[in-house]
Structure 1
Amino acid sequence: MKRGATGSSSESTPASHVGAAARVSGLFGDLTAGAVSTLVMLCYAMSLGTLIFSADLARYAELGVPTALISCIVTALVIALTSSMRLNIAGPDSNATAFLAGVAAGVASSVHADGGSPQTLLLTVLIAIALCSVLTGIVLFGIGSSKRSRSLQFLPYPVVGGFLAGTGYLLLAGAFRVLTGEAPQWHTLGLLTHLHWLAWVPALVIGVLTTILTRGQQHIAALPFVLVCGVALFYVLLRLAGLSIDDARNMGLLLPHVKLHFFPDLRVPAPLAQGAIDWPAIAAHLPETLIVTSASAITILMNSTAIGAATGEDIDLNREMRAAGLANIASGLLGGMVGYQSYNRSMLNARAGATSRLAGVFAALACLAALAASPDLVALFPVPVLVGLQLFMGLRLMLQWLFGAYARLNWYEYALVPGMLAVVAFYGVVAGVIAGVIAACVMFALLYGRVSCVRMAFDAATRTSSVERSIEDSAQLRERGAQVYGLCLQGFLFFGTANSILQRVRERLQANGAVAVRYVVLDFASTNGMDASVSVAFVKLRQLCASSGADLVLTALPARSRSLLAKSGTLNLRIHEFATLDAGLEWIEDRVLESCCVLPRSDEQDFRATLAPHFTLPALAKLCDCLEVRDLVAGEPLFLRGEPGDALYIVERGRVAVSLPLSDGRLVRLRSFGPGTVVGEMAVYTQTTRSADVVAESPTRVHRLSAPALFALERDDPVAAQQFHRFLIKTIAARLAVADEALRAAY
């Protein structure tokens, strides 16, 4: 026993050592990846934080870095703990930051126009940035909670392209403002020639080098490597130029020193506590906040999908939206900017050896330590390197969407991209996005309007109801089938497709030499909605039918479409409406047969006269001697499913319905049989049980021919039996002819 215990212990020890080694290795990988992610997050915070405070806010550029660091810390921590993917790294992103810079610049302009002090201007901008984060977080959390995240995928692709191309322009314009302090215009381009070469040479080298290195198959560590090289290059050039760090800071090549004091609920410089907040200026730019929110939601969708595909992890888009929402609410309450899941940083985290959420948590805490220990460290970061980063991001987006998208889009779709870019450049972000959405809607209307909304056209000869008619009645319906003109509609109906329906009906009603149409049928079973303009088209359609002496019949209207037509009064124009196409066709067939008057349509019609065209007088007399009369009240079953097939029935008057019982107790009507038709013959000929229920729909009289009586007729009077079998063959052939015509019309 001791040896067994000892052996068991010796066998378990290596396994425990392996597990401990794996845990230590995983911990080391997480800490290493977290350290790398920390450096990258600091680089992004320096570049994107500075991007917010450009143009009129350039003198406060150093305040953007702590704002971005707050976002890095909070969003990275919250998303690392709540994301559906273990290796997610979050933080500020260039797409949302570019629009956030527009919000900040717009708020600053409004405050300046209101005569606000510099303290009021800066405090209002900081509050606007924080409020934008909170509102974005609320919207994102709402999208995730409502489980509507995937609906964002339906944003028109060209609009996304124009939006990103406009983002690229904003980045380039921001780089120009940082260098010159002016907006990019033809008359301000000359300011570039007055810059010290240290201001533009590193920026140009960084922008071009990063663009080249990240083209094609981008290496995940390319951007951090270029940032390190850019900082080193700047200080080498600074030394070669014989300038000190103070000289560089006085020339605007480095961020200035600003001591920050932290309040419990908002991070601002102490003198700003005395400034007022210009709330009207913030309210005036709330629509631009929605653009930031839209950019964030779209980028989260694309980044999360790309991360999941690259890492093989299952993603929950709704959970990602909720995580980003919570992160931005917390970031905004602490004075941070908008941030969310980053594809580049998450992939770098994975490549650096991360195995769990610990890497993201460690990166967030390391950034917090850097901010708390040495907030002025960011003042040593060169402004030209930040400008180079903006040039890189702007050039990448411009190249991707102005040139790369041309091969992926049709010419009319691609035209939206430079069009939106031009509007953004001249009139701003909001105008550009609105113009793009309007153009996409117009394009959709024009293109979709060319797609036929008619799934199938039919008449009474090619499409019949489920009511089985006598051979003579079926022949009459085929002969007069052109009196019915029907259209089975599909898709979403709007003014473009509604006008095409109107034009198609007009051409049929006014066709020279064609049989006059008495019934126009529109079936909505395959439609999924309509807009208000359709009601106007249907008023015109009803007037057109009335002028031609035709009745307008609408079938299978969806509830919302019917409500829309009812509100507009369209259904009050003597339009016939039925729940199904089958019900509408049955009503039309009854009306057509009533107008024919070939056979009497009353309850007193002569049964013998109905069968006379198919039998000789002796054979008909012999057959009638074999028949048993049975009268049914409405709802009384003729026979039920599972009963033996011991007889067939010829309907004299009234109507019986073939129904299939369902497991929930409901009955589905398959077909109805009217006067002159035969029902129940298949079970007799195949000698099987009944496959469905047959129930009288109204007071009905049938004539029963039992199987023994049929066999006796075949034995005693073969001629009469032969004529009866021929009558049944004609009846079945008429059914097959109707089915064949319907099949031909469908295909």
Structure 2
Amino acid sequence: MGVFSVSFISKAARSDFGSGIAIALLSLTYALSYGALLFTSPLLIPYIGYAISAALITTVVTGLAIAYLSGIKFSIAGPDSNSVAVMASLFVLVAQSLNDSGLGGETLALATLTIMMVITLLTALTMFLLGYFQIGNFIRFVPISVAGGFLAAAGCLMVSGAILLATGIDPMNPSNFEALTDLQMIKLLTVCGLAVIYWYVSTYIKNSLALPITIFASIFIIHGIFALQGISIAEAQKLGLLLEVSGDTKLFIPATQSVFDTLTLATFIEFLPETIAVIVVVGLAILLIIAGIELERNFDSDLNHELKIHGYAIGLSGILGGFAGLVSLSRSLLNVEKKSRFPIAAVLTTILCGGVFMVGADAIALLPQISLAAMVLFLGTQIAFRWMITTFNTLDRLEYMMILVIAGTTLYAGFIFGLGLGVVAGCILFAARASIISIVRSQLSGEAYRSRVVRSPDEEAYLDGAHKTIRIYELQGFLFFGTAHNFYTLIKEQLEDTDDEVRHLILSFRHVSGIDASAEQILQKIFYAADKHNCSVSTIELPKRDQIRVARLLHRSPALIADQNYAAIYDAMEAIEESMLRERAFDAVGSLQRWLELRFDDNQTAANLFSILQPEEYVDGQVICHQGEDADEIYFLDRGRVDVVSHDMPGQAFRIYSYMRHTMLGEMGFVRRETRSADLIARGTTVIYTLSRETYEKLEKARDPSVDALLHLISVTLSDRIISANRTIGELQS
């Protein structure tokens, strides 16, 4: 057992060490490439050693911090291509602005690095606050098209930076290529060739060490070519083939070398909008990278925690002279199979980057510009290809066009203009898409959805024709100008349809999460349209705040709006039915025997049954029978009203149904010989005729025709209720 454990541990350690070496080499390669990209401005290239040192510091600090603090235990962090591309384009503008103000040489580089430090600390603070106040998940609401447009622009900027690093020509100005020299052409073609080789190796050779070995092999081959051609290191630097590093120190120490003068602060304020763009890109990159890890590994991470620890790591990096570093998707997934809890990859990366950092300018000066430019070109092309080409088959055409428009706008007018366009376009796209979604959860007519009041046959017959003038709309979601306007159009068309008269509207807000001001104004238009067509409007669970606002818009009393607001659709239907019945007079007293005659279709049988029923008068609130009692009576309601009230929920009485005149109650429990399932309570002065079980059994024993007639009445009554229920179910299903 002991031998097996040692063997397993040794195997796990070898596995972790192998992937750790690959990750360390990749991290070093990226650090060198991104550092070179950061200072692509011709004014900053002589001091590129500062940027490479800053990239090495970022790789070490963020790599260790995030490896230890992240909830994603296999996280590997370092400089991110997207944020570096944005900062690189920003530093070109910053350096030019500082130079126009009379600053030059190493002082200009230090002032630029000072602005970099401030941007880094602001980014760290923003990420920390987003995580600390648990609002980081709001980043998840950024549309993929907006994020993709930004990242596509970042990829294009990396491609531009690679060409600028290799040739010294800004590709954003095509006229510059007219003066392209033979040497610059050779360098450009070599960079493109190397980038293709890097792409082929990373795509078709699955060994994790293949790409870093290829990159370092290209560096040695280039030096071998220099040796064969008799080109010295100094001559290669003079020709722009190797990095030319000047200055005594290549380490930027913020505590002692920061330049906080008026010019630097004024320049920072001048480019504050671009700083916001950097922060936005960092936030989006963190979101997309973590989302990618979640999808690949099928788990959910705590985004707020990850933002907070990124705030720690980025802040520490800024204090020590680095910049924003983020968790890396590719390197983290390469590290996902590690067996040990010890962050071997992060430690090996620290040792390797630390060794290069200690050697300093001597090692940096040996780096061929074309190798680093090819790496930047390869990475930038990958990003741009992913968002501008691959998404063509994964996104719909509207979102894909948004990516291209936002990317093009960002490249042409800058990240702030692109950010503004992205926010506006995202909002418009969301509003347009949300407007397509119907806020009508269900649409019913009064013919299928009745109140919980059982009425006499003559009233039911009258309401059967009147119910078709009722429309019920159950609304859902958030009501804003887009969705509310579509609903208003629907209501207006139905009100104007002369072939389908609508006299009563019921609007249920039970499933509505919120209503904005513009939607309230559209509700006002619905009320006005209903008034114009002599149609009433009842609401269900309209919040008190919205009742007051609607009343104010309609110039009506809030009490009036409140009177038309009900707790349930059944209550609104009951109120509408009562208003309909008031339009016609019905025989209200002295007609129970006549009702029995109509139901039995035999006057003598009805008279015999009526003669043995026992009448009793109840006052308002008096209990006729209690839930749980034996069901030994059938009740015939002559006049008044009876509520069926259940106490199944302790401490909370619930009205199931109400019965009006010329109806029968308690027949199911009577026939099934069960106990009462609810209380029967009189509302107002109520007269009830009762048939006891004792009397019924006497009639049954005497084979009285009244028994058969009564059982037929019960079966017809139950059938009517089933038909009504089926009609409602069918309406809901449709």
Q: TM-score, normalised by structure 2?
A: 0.88
Aligned residue for 1:227? Answer: 215
Distance 1:666 1:118 in 2: 82
Q: CA deviation at 1:427?
A: 0.8
Letter in 2 for 1:323: I
Per-residue deviation, residues 177-215 of structure 1 (Å, max 9, x unmatched): 323253521212334445445633442222122233444
Whether the 8 Å contact between 1:140 and 1:324 is mirrored in structure 2 is yes
Aligned residue for 1:710? Answer: 696
Question: Which aligned pairs between 1:299-448 and structure 2 lie closer than 5 A?
Answer: 299-307=285-293, 310=296, 315-350=301-336, 355-363=340-348, 365-367=350-352, 369-370=354-355, 373-376=358-361, 377-448=363-434
Aligned residue for 2:45? Answer: 58
Task: Pick one of 564, 574, 578 that aligns with 1:590.
Answer: 578
Letter in 1 for 2:378: F
Q: Is 1:182 the equivalent of 2:197?
A: no
Question: Which aligned pairs between 1:114-513 and structure 2 lie closer than 5 A?
Answer: 121-147=108-134, 151-178=138-165, 179-180=167-168, 182=170, 184-193=172-181, 195-196=183-184, 199-215=187-203, 220-255=208-243, 256-260=245-249, 266=254, 270=257, 278-307=264-293, 310=296, 315-350=301-336, 355-363=340-348, 365-367=350-352, 369-370=354-355, 373-376=358-361, 377-513=363-499
Whether the 8 Å contact between 1:211 and 1:395 is mirrored in structure 2 is no
- Three-state SS of the structure 1 residue aligned to 2:524 is helix
Using a 3 Å threshold, how does the CA distance of structure 1 residues 734 and 374 change in structure 2: closer, same or farther? same
- Three-state SS of the structure 2 residue aligned to 1:99 is helix
Letter in 2 for 1:708: E
Using a 3 Å threshold, how does the CA distance of structure 1 residues 661 and 50 change in structure 2: closer, same or farther? farther
Q: CA deviation at 1:640?
A: 4.3
Distance 1:110 1:565 in 2: 55
Q: CA deviation at 1:613?
A: 3.3
- Three-state SS of the structure 2 residue aligned to 1:644 is coil
Letter in 2 for 1:541: I
Per-residue deviation, residues 432-469 of structure 1 (Å, max 9, x unmatched): 23323322332333343334333333222122122233
Letter in 2 for 1:382: P
Distance 1:392 1:404 in 2: 16
Gaps of 5+ in 1: 1-14
Q: Is 1:546 the equivalent of 2:531?
A: yes
Q: CA deviation at 1:91?
A: 0.9
Distance 1:246 1:561 in 2: 77
Using a 3 Å threshold, how does the CA distance of structure 1 residues 132 and 610 change in structure 2: closer, same or farther? farther
Letter in 2 for 1:82: L
- Three-state SS of the structure 2 residue aligned to 1:78 is helix
- Three-state SS of the structure 1 residue aligned to 2:438 is coil
Aligned residue for 1:96? Answer: 83
Distance 2:201 2:53 in 1: 29
Q: How many positions carry a matched residue from both structures?
A: 725
Using a 3 Å threshold, how does the CA distance of structure 1 residues 475 and 398 change in structure 2: closer, same or farther? same
Task: Pick one of 61, 74, 78 that aligns with 1:87.
Answer: 74
Distance 2:267 2:617 in 1: 85
Aligned residue for 1:4? Answer: none
Letter in 2 for 1:417: I
Q: CA deviation at 1:423?
A: 0.8
Distance 1:84 1:34 in 2: 19
Q: Is 1:528 the equivalent of 2:516?
A: no
Using a 3 Å threshold, how does the CA distance of structure 1 residues 594 and 381 change in structure 2: closer, same or farther? same
Distance 1:618 1:141 in 2: 88
Using a 3 Å threshold, how does the CA distance of structure 1 residues 355 and 509 change in structure 2: closer, same or farther? same
Distance 2:349 2:590 in 1: 91
Whether the 8 Å contact between 2:431 and 2:482 is mirrored in structure 1 is yes
Aligned residue for 2:35? Answer: 49
Distance 2:69 2:673 in 1: 67
Q: Select between 163-172 and 206-215 the one with higher mean Cα deviation.
A: 206-215
Distance 1:219 1:28 in 2: 16
Gaps of 5+ in 2: none
Q: CA deviation at 1:83?
A: 2.0
Per-residue deviation, residues 346-377 of structure 1 (Å, max 9, x unmatched): 233356x6633331441354156326522222
Per-residue deviation, residues 54-74 of structure 1 (Å, max 9, x unmatched): 235434332211222222111
Q: CA deviation at 1:90?
A: 0.9
Q: CA deviation at 1:477?
A: 1.5
Distance 1:669 1:228 in 2: 81
Per-residue deviation, residues 206-235 of structure 1 (Å, max 9, x unmatched): 212223344479664443233223312322
Whether the 8 Å contact between 2:59 and 2:77 is mirrored in structure 1 is yes
Distance 1:274 1:413 in 2: 43
Whether the 8 Å contact between 1:123 and 1:276 is mirrored in structure 2 is no
Using a 3 Å threshold, how does the CA distance of structure 1 residues 454 and 251 change in structure 2: closer, same or farther? same
Distance 2:96 2:689 in 1: 92
Q: TM-score, normalised by structure 1?
A: 0.87
Question: Which aligned pairs between 1:605-624 and structure 2 lie closer than 5 A?
Answer: 607-608=592-593, 611=596, 613-615=598-600, 616-624=602-610
Distance 1:266 1:698 in 2: 86
Letter in 2 for 1:296: V
Distance 2:499 2:19 in 1: 82
Whether the 8 Å contact between 1:72 and 1:367 is mirrored in structure 2 is no
Using a 3 Å threshold, how does the CA distance of structure 1 residues 704 and 487 change in structure 2: closer, same or farther? same
